[in-house]
Amino acid sequence: MKRGAKGFDWRATPGLGTLTVLVLVFLYAPLVVLVAYAFNASNLAMVWGGFSLQWFEKALANSDLRRAGWNSITVAVSATVVATALAVPAAIALERGRAFFGKPAAESLMALPLVVPEIVTAIATLVFFSTIGLRLGIANVAIAHIVFCIPFALLPIRARLRDMPRDVEDAARDLYADWRQVFLRVTLPLLMPGIVAGAMLAFIVSLDDFLITLMVAEAGSTTLPVYLYGMLRLGVTPEANAAATLLLALSVGVVLAAYLVMRRGGRVGH
């Protein structure tokens, strides 16, 4: 390569733009159709009969649907709080702690739920709960979600720690701050954007989870995704479209909030 010559720009690949558009259409066109038919006035899910909000009103008036939604929120909040509380010290130990025997194994174990197919995790959780005889109702779902959500909460926190210079913490120690003061007054405030983003990511993963919940949920602990699946087994209805649209709107809102928090947090020292 000649001096001053530019490297290969993959964005100039012929047809890449067209392929990208086709992939995005393939991924998001079904969501657009679902949202559009949620406002359908017709009783037939796929026959347009005009604009109406009646199915949102019926979905919100459905007591079983509200109960499933409340279960989803309860499990998601519980999983978020516990998973984030465990992810913070884990991230600090892996990024700031001294090297210890088994650290690579611990990191691999933490990342395992991200790599293993969710159906495998769901079946393993069901077998484990059945083996030990754990029957706590909705708490079974919460425990399973906590374990599954820890890696998702851990990722943004570790990424934030990598961007944080150690100098600020060392300076606090030079000023005779003990480890509690360093953590509470220096590390934690600087780490907060990553913690908030990790918590939001854990929340949305728990809220939208279907397979694990389907496996471990007992009677009375059905969450919204599982309830929607039960509705669809009888056929697609406008009410199901409306409920799915509400869940989609909440998911997109939380993901967007997490993105804005991470972006506003920026890089430490910039």
**Could you write out the DSSP letters of every residue in the chain?**
--TT-----GGG-TTHHHHHHHHHHHHHHHHHHHHHHHTB-SSSTTS---B--HHHHHHHH-HHHHHHHHHHHHHHHHHHHHHHHHHHHHHHHHHTSPP-TTHHHHHHHHHHHHHS-HHHHHHHHHHHHHHHT---THHHHHHHHHHHHHHHHHHHHHHHHHHS-THHHHHHHHTT--HHHHIIIIIHHHHHHHHHHHHHHHHHHHHH--HHHHHH--TT---HHHHHHHHHTT---HHHHHHHHHHHHHHHHHHHHHHHHHHHH--TT-
pLDDT in tens, the chain (270 residues): 445 455 666 777 777 778 888 999 998 898 898 888 888 888 877 778 888 888 888 888 888 888 988 999 999 999 999 999 999 998 888 887 777 777 778 788 888 888 888 899 899 999 999 999 888 889 999 999 999 999 999 988 988 888 887 777 778 877 777 778 888 888 888 888 889 888 988 999 999 899 999 999 887 788 988 988 888 777 777 888 888 898 888 888 888 887 777 676 554 444
Q: What is the pLDDT of residues 167-190, one digit of tens each?
A: 777 788 777 777 788 888 888 888
Task: State the pLDDT at residue 173.
Answer: 79
Domain spans, the chain:
56-265
Task: State the pLDDT at residue 79.
Answer: 94
Q: Are 133 and 67 within 8 A, CB to CB?
A: no
The CATH architecture one would assign to domain 56-265 is Orthogonal Bundle (1.10)
| Phi, psi for residue 51 in degrees, rounded to 5 | -85, 135
In this structure, the number of other CB atoms found within 10 A of the CB of residue 66 comes to 13
Q: How many residues does the chain have?
A: 270
Q: Are 32 and 23 within 8 A, CB to CB?
A: no
pTM flag (> 0.85)? no
